[in-house]
Amino acid sequence: MLTYPDINPIAVALGPVKIRWYGLMYLVGFLASWVLLRRRARTGRWAFTVNHVEDIIFYGVLGVMIGGRLGSMLFYNFSSLLADPLSLLRVWEGGMSFHGGLLGVLVAMWLFARKHGFGFWQVVDFIAPVTPIGLGAGRIGNFINGELWGKATDVPWAFVVNGTPRHPSQLYEALLEGLVMFVVLWAFSSRPRPTMAVSGLFALLYGSFRIGVEFVRLPDADIGYIAFGWLTMGQLLSLPLLVVGAALVYFAYSRKTKNEAIS
């Protein structure tokens, strides 16, 4: 078994200004997305230019930060929000939700698409393959913070935390939601696909991986299990992604077949 290294969550301290590793992980995700989306735009396969990418990243940052914070407070800390509404603004205290961030990004991409005259799913298909980089980096940030640990276990790769060996569920998610999703989506989108297919595959993969890892991850202390002694809030919020993802893939390919038959 492995001993958790107890990493200092503060990467750089300049007097009262403290830069945390978790925040740097978000920066890594945004920078990597910016580089890769510019590369995709330059291939000429997509309707987006390098200038469009700058706008997409700007909208995406706002969507992630606003949506992620709102989602965290509404889904996981609603009682705290009711008791102290100003806690919503104290982002330096931590607390971000993937599902809230996803909704925030979707709203942001809808606004971008409306501004520039693109189709909504056209934009989402374009950005979906690079999104896992930020997800994986964020999970590494969770590991550095020593949060979101898994259940007690005796597997050889368990990390001993406060005397108890636990599943490194953050690293499981970094691997699945980050590396695996990126490789699969990047490869899948490297060839022309019908509109909504890439977005649908993203939703299916994330929903499957998140639900699976939640079985070995401890539930949020303030919420616990929602039902059956095993259902977590993360699983409940991820179930719609499976339904939406399957529906998007089905409609993407059924519409493609229909259009081909007509032409």
Q: Does residue 261 register a pLDDT over 60? A: no
Tens-digit pLDDT profile for residues 6-45? 889 899 888 888 888 988 999 999 999 999 999 999 988 8
* H-assigned helices in the chain: 21-42, 50-71, 78-83, 98-116, 120-127, 131-145, 169-173, 181-188, 197-214, 233-262
pLDDT at site 260? 44
Are 200 and 247 within 8 A, CB to CB? yes
Q: How far apart are CA 119 and CA 55, in angstroms?
A: 15
**C-alpha Rg value of the chain to the nearest Å:** 19
Give the closest residue to 189 by CA, choosing from 142, 90, 121. 121
What is the span of the domain harbouring residue 114?
Answer: 2-262
Q: Give the model's confidence band at 96: pLDDT under 50 very low, under 70 low, under 90 confident, else very high.
A: confident
Predicted TM-score of the model (pTM): 0.89
Q: What is the pLDDT of residues 105-130, one digit of tens each?
A: 999 999 999 999 999 999 999 999 99
pLDDT tens-place string over residues 145-179? 998 999 999 999 999 999 999 999 999 999 999 99
The tally of domains found in the chain comes to: 1
Written as six digits, the tokens of 24 are 């740097």
